[in-house]
Amino acid sequence: MSMEEDQELRMIERRKLAAMKRRISEATAAAAPKPEKSDREVLLSALYDRGDEVLETAYSFYPDATEKVVAELARLIRDGKFTGRVTGGELYALFRQVGLRFNLKTSIKVQENGRFVDLSEKLKSGGD
């Protein structure tokens, strides 16, 4: 074998080895388990229309009981038994049905001169 052929063979071997290493790293990366979403993250992805506010308020009043409700709702979502979206009002009603009663901070705003003002402020000012 000539020296030129020897160098060519080594270069081919290096390319094949590099390709094998690349395939192995791609296979191990694809097989690596993806971090699973927490129950809270699963439920938050299904909430809209102030649902996140209701959930945070429930956690502040009843952290342990809320965690159990969230775990059950997340299980239903993961199992495909529940595929819809949940409004804040629906979540609030669910918490009340299971006996977790709490008040949400709400406000009513009215438009005045191109800006929104709390209704209480409008009534204090005399409703001009």
Instruction: Give residue 81's pLDDT.
Output: 87
CA 85 centroid distance within chain: 13
Instruction: Give residue 106's pLDDT.
Output: 80
Residue 124 in tokens = 């204090």
Residue 51's CB is within 10 A of a number of other CB atoms, namely 20
Which amino acid type is present at position 66?
Answer: T
Instruction: Give residue 32's pLDDT.
Output: 64
Domain at 37-128, CATH class: mainly alpha
Question: Whole-model pTM?
Answer: 0.59
Averages of pLDDT over runs of 10 residues in the chain (128 residues) are 79 90 82 78 89 92 93 91 88 92 84 83 73
Residues near 50 by beta carbon (within 8 Å), at least 6 away in sequence: 87, 88, 89
Instruction: Give residue 70's pLDDT.
Output: 94
Instruction: Give residue 41's pLDDT.
Output: 92
Write down the domain spans for the chain.
1-32, 37-128
DSSP secondary structure of the chain: --HHHHHHHHHHHHHHHHHHHHHHHHHHHHHSPPPPPPHHHHHHHHEESSHHHHHHHHHHH-HHHHHHHHHHHHHHHHTTS--S-EEHHHHHHHHHHTT---PPP---EEEETTEEEEHHHHHHTT--
Please count the residues of the chain: 128
